[in-house]
A and B are shown apart, each in its own frame.
Chain A
Amino acid sequence: MNWSDVGTLAPIVIAVLTAAAVLVVDFAAPGRRAPAIAAALVGLTVVALVVLSLAGHTETAFGGAYVVDGLTAFLDLLFVAIAALTILFANDYLEPRGLPIAEFAAVLIFAITGAMLIAGSADLLLLFVALELMVLPGYLLAGFARNDPYSTEGAIKYFLLGSFSSAILLFGLAYVWGLTGSTRVTDVAAALARVATTGSIAPGLAMGLAFMTAGVAFKMAAVPFHYWTPDAYQGSPTPVTAYLSVGPKIGAFAIALRLFVAALGPLKADWLPIVIVLAALTMTLGNLVAITQDNVKRMLAYSSIAHTGYILVGLAAYAGGQHSGISAILFYGAAYTFMNMGAFAVVTALQRRPGVSSQISTFAGLGRRDPWLAALMTLFLLSLTGIPPLAGFWAKAYVIVAAIQAGGWLTALAVLAMLNAAAAAFYYLRVVVYMYMREPAEAAAPLSPGLLFRVGLAVTGVVTLVFGLFPAILNVVSNAADVLKG
């Protein structure tokens, strides 16, 4: 290691320092929430600025194990945004319940550091370590409301299945290492390219591929590896759920990009059928089960499974020969982050008073109680449905474009995705029905979310609209995706 490595790693170093600073600030001013929040937000802003200043040229560190390129920069910024939004939304939920914000912010930033490390991993071993760094704090966050039995139950389920899937992934990585003799992504890809030309793949490699697919599918909550999701999402404190539904999911797709696309790209014809089946199952089952949910958090959990399915269509399109599938994945990830976090934020606002459930009936009459909140929720839900001209529409459109261009079975997958989107309208619009077409159960007081919370909501709402009206932002994404062009 030398000093230039530290320069390349600067965003990650600063993120770790930010987490530490938050704890120090909390130690210096115990019991006060504002300084810790301020420290976290300032630190994250610095990270974002450093990422931006490094963007534009490719650098490597640690002999090529870690790489900073356009893709890393894009994902880093997205992860920083996720962390910042989560912190903006969290205090309104944690404070009334007497839960500390400093520990929350610090643990969250550690998790994001792991995600950022995944984004730049060019080595299988580093990829695994980074993954663990991302998910371990996630278990803590899921169980953050330690007096709430549901939170504990969700955290334990998440932890057990999460460790299990990490082990499976590691097992798969070991096979690949054994058969290619290297953990460096470029070497693995080169070795596999030789294998791919010979026509048949060794049984050991097939095993490795299967294990890795299962491991990553667990992390992204693809059917049939999704069972931990609904319980973990419903039990976790709502801001944590918001984070879990986007952070680790996009982290898992970052693994898919660095592992399946960069390292296993030469074998893409072999994993294409698996991804098609996974995508079809994931979106269909996610949507069908979401329709039956009466709890909005659980409904959004299943809806996030369905969205995993749509994103997988982008991965399948890549494997089918369309590089635009990658930029579709990245755009989808960004759009999904903002609209989904916005939707969870509204749930958080409703649950500000401890004891309020996330049943759909709590949304009754929100249109009268708080017109702005209801209007924003409608915006997020319409975007999740995929109604133009909102972010979620373009996300779906780009995925579908890539799939139709790839042709063959992928056209059928595109049609299935659209039918799913129509079915999804049912459960998203059901919330709108409750907000506008039913009267509130009791004479409920208007909600008064805090200032930070409003800032966060404004950001998610504006981004959902801006991505929708100016989708040319995709150019940024496709530049980031070009990194993976072999």
Chain B
Amino acid sequence: MSGLPILSLITFLPLLGALLIAVLPSSDPNLVRRTALGTALATWALSLVLLVAFALGQAGFQFKETADWIPSFGIQYKLGADGLSLLMVVLTTTLTWISILASFGPIKDRVKGYMVSFLVLEVGMIGVFLALDLFLFYIFWEIVLVPMYLIIGIWGGANRIYATMKFVLYTLVGSLLMLVAILATAFTYQAAHAGSWAGAFDYEKLQAFAAAGSFGHDFQLLAFLALFLAFAIKVPMFPFHTWLPDAHTEAPTAGSVILAGVLLKLGAYGLIRFAVPLYPFAAHTFAWPIIVLSVIAIVYGAIVSIVQPDLKRLVAYSSVSHMGFVTLGIFVFTATALQGAILQMISHGLITGGLFLLVGVVYERTHDRSIAKMGGLAATMPLWSTVFGFFILASAGLPGLSGFVGEFLVFVGSFTYAPGIALASIVVMVLAATYLLWMFQRVAFGTVSDFLRGLGDHVTDMSRAEFATLAPLAALIVLFGLFPSLILDFLHGPVQTFLAAAGAAVGG
């Protein structure tokens, strides 16, 4: 490995861009926009370099960087990537530049603050996926919160203040309890090592400690619950999902894209990386209730989606349903299901991100998102309707596209575990087709609605720039749908590690 601290570079390059933007004159919004896009593209390029440099066959974390931060408590600045974190980082960097590009038109007010928030947000998100010190992880986790709070609250829709406060309070309650659990975990480790703080927050050391069955069962139950609550709120799992529809609906388009594409994945990533491997006994103890909640989320999200009158709200509730497959895939503890869950995380990020972008395109022209007012868009916006149809089919799980592979693998993986559960969740594929295609029919087909007719020339088809934000997503959806091994190749190591760690409970 070369001496270049490439992970730190990727993590903090956006911060550098944000600082640069902060000193640019606010009188030239185009310069600000271009600098932000340039930074995001550079970060993206770096993350692709990482993808190439990553040694596939190797187990464990690569590109590791370690430095002491607060020696008196053994807190380190420690970064590292395995296949899972790598894929998540690339998903983040990809969606970030797309979101920034998609914000060029819609965001006209306080462009500087917006772009700075977005780049700081990227720092937090990448940091969460790369941190190998629990304390550092927590700090990045909280850093994500503030810019998203500002993005929804300042550049959001009419009810933005309510939505953003709800988002912050839900997330904070979870994350502060997580802090207590992290500290308690570190203290347990410290007490077992003759009071030495060295390594007490180090993920790899803690995981080895947990694999040896050294965390007591009662302790595991409490600590797991605290971490689980934090992650379940972020995913969001039923019944902690109520912040999501509000946040999604009120956020500006790019905010929704990142929220659905990356922020929800933070929760799932936390479950895979921390909650299960560190507290395997508790994870097994609570597996059934969590599986039941996941199935409820899958079915409930789909049913509620059917009756949503607002395009964004519909996509938001469909996220609850799709993310249910992810948590289901994690907690049945089979290799196939976990692979499916991770594939679903990525594919959901691409598909839902695209759907939000497409809704944003219509909103830019009509300043409305209600399904009832639309109709006949296929006639006025043919290109948009075609692309929208593609993403709808991808979301509904059309074979050959990435959404299908993820859900199918979760289905197969959980079938060996509990056939009933798997069958219940597969019924949802029918429901998904129902709400998505019905919505598509009402929006795109039929005669042009009076509302749209009234807007006249404003309803123009998608511009080339807007298409440019969607084309890469569509390409990736097809690519991963046809060649899921592109992703799965990265996952052998992480999946084996996860199953080994989760299996430790059976022995202990």
Contact = CB atoms under 8 A, between A and B. Distances in A.
B72 interface: yes
Given A437-B153, A437-B161, A425 B168 contact: yes
Interface residues of A, number: 33
A425 B154 CA distance: 17
A426 B165 contact: yes
Nearest to A401: B183
A99 interface: no
Given A389-B139, A472-B70, A472-B72, A415 B165 contact: no
12 contacts: A388-B139, A393-B139, A411-B184, A414-B180, A418-B176, A419-B177, A425-B169, A432-B153, A437-B160, A472-B69, A472-B72, A474-B70
A283 to B, nearest CB: 13
Contact of B169 (A426, A437, A471, A475): A426
Contacts of A436: 150, 153-154
B192 interface: no
Contacts of A422: 169, 172-173, 176
Given A388-B139, A401-B183, A418-B177, 15 more contacts: A367-B113, A387-B143, A388-B143, A404-B180, A404-B184, A411-B180, A411-B184, A415-B177, A415-B180, A419-B177, A422-B172, A426-B169, A432-B149, A432-B150, A472-B72
Interface string B135-154: 00011001101100110011
Given A404-B184, A472-B71, A382 B169 contact: no
Q: Mostly helix, strand, loop or mixed at chain A's interface?
A: helix
Contact of A419 (B143, B165, B173): B173
A474 B75 CA distance: 13
Contacts of B71: 472
Nearest to A421: B176
Interface in A377-433: 382, 386-389, 393, 397, 400-401, 404-405, 411, 414-415, 418-419, 421-423, 425-426, 429-430, 432-433
A401 B186 CA distance: 10
Interface in A320-348: none
Question: Across chains A and B, which 9 residue pairs bring their CB atoms closest together, nearest first?
Answer: A418-B176, A422-B172, A388-B139, A422-B173, A437-B153, A388-B142, A404-B183, A425-B172, A422-B176
B70 A471 contact: yes
B387 to A, nearest CB: 33
Interface string B164-180: 11001100110011011
A121 interface: no
B172 A421 contact: yes
B153 A401 contact: no
A474 B71 CA distance: 11
A400 B180 contact: yes
Nearest to A415: B180
A478 interface: yes
A397 B184 CA distance: 12
Contacts, number: 80
A429 B165 contact: yes
Nearest to B160: A437
B165 to A, nearest CB: 7
Interface of B: 69-73, 113, 138-139, 142-143, 145-146, 149-150, 153-154, 160-161, 164-165, 168-169, 172-173, 176-177, 179-180, 183-184, 187
Interface in A416-457: 418-419, 421-423, 425-426, 429-430, 432-433, 436-437
Interface of A: 367, 382, 386-389, 393, 397, 400-401, 404-405, 411, 414-415, 418-419, 421-423, 425-426, 429-430, 432-433, 436-437, 471-472, 474-475, 478
A475 B180 CA distance: 22
A67 B176 CA distance: 40
Contacts of B73: 401
Contacts of A401: 73, 183, 187
Most chain A beta-carbon neighbours within 10 Å: one of B139, B146, B154, B176: B176
Contacts of B153: 432-433, 436-437
A422 B113 CA distance: 25
A389 B120 CA distance: 13
A419 B178 CA distance: 11
A386 B160 CA distance: 23
Nearest to B173: A422
A475 B70 CA distance: 10
B102 to A, nearest CB: 22
Contact of A405 (B145, B177, B187): B187
B250 to A, nearest CB: 11
A202 to B, nearest CB: 37
B141 to A, nearest CB: 9
B107 to A, nearest CB: 15
A400 B172 contact: no
Contacts of B146: 382, 387
A225 to B, nearest CB: 27
B362 to A, nearest CB: 25
Contacts of A430: 165
B78 to A, nearest CB: 16
B82 to A, nearest CB: 25
Given A397-B179, A425-B169, A404 B187 contact: yes
Nearest to A382: B146
Given A387-B142, A404-B183, A419 B176 contact: yes
A471 B72 CA distance: 10
Contacts of A386: 176
A444 B177 CA distance: 42
A421 B176 CA distance: 8
Contacts of A426: 165, 169
A421 B153 CA distance: 21
Given A387-B146, A421-B172, A433-B161, A474 B180 contact: no
B183 A400 contact: yes
A429 B180 contact: no
A475 B183 CA distance: 19
B72 A474 contact: yes
Contacts of A382: 146
Given A419-B173, A436-B154, A429 B183 contact: no
